Amino acid sequence: MNAASILKAKGSSVVTVKPAASLEEAARLLTERGIGCVVVSERGTGPVGILSERDIVREVALGGAAALKSTVASAMSKPIHTCQGDDTVDHLMAVMTARRFRHVPVVEDGELVGIVSIGDVVKFKIAEAEMETEAMRAYITTG
């Protein structure tokens, strides 16, 4: 299993926001879409950063409510770690765990083609374990 398999199953839609948008606009977008992060991109194609709920909370904790008037560019995480479609689920899980982040944009030829979350990775690992268990049961049952 790889990042392309995940995108094939869940879709490749990615919510983006421009670097000049305010944190308030980004927070509203996260809430409306029920998501935990947005990819920061000037044209909606190549990612320049990522903004998560955690980034917004950090800025509000440091600057109070006035921080919501700041730009996304001032609070986004950068540089970001991206992956390609052929990166394995095991590799993604290892990188996400080691670097302590929950979302990885998928980029092919410099263009944003999707995003993989830790939830997506866990879902695929569970499905993989269930398939292996079922195959083992079938093997044992049939001899």
Return the pLDDT at 143. Answer: 65
> For residues 89 and 125, is the Cβ–Cβ distance under 8 A?
yes
Token pair belonging to 17: 């926001």
Return the pLDDT at 46. Answer: 85
Domains belonging to the chain, first-starting first, are: 3-142 (3.10.580.10)
pLDDT in 10s for each residue of the chain, 143 residues? 899 999 999 999 999 999 999 999 999 999 999 999 999 999 877 899 999 999 999 999 999 999 999 999 999 998 899 999 999 999 999 999 999 989 999 999 989 999 999 999 999 889 888 888 888 888 888 86
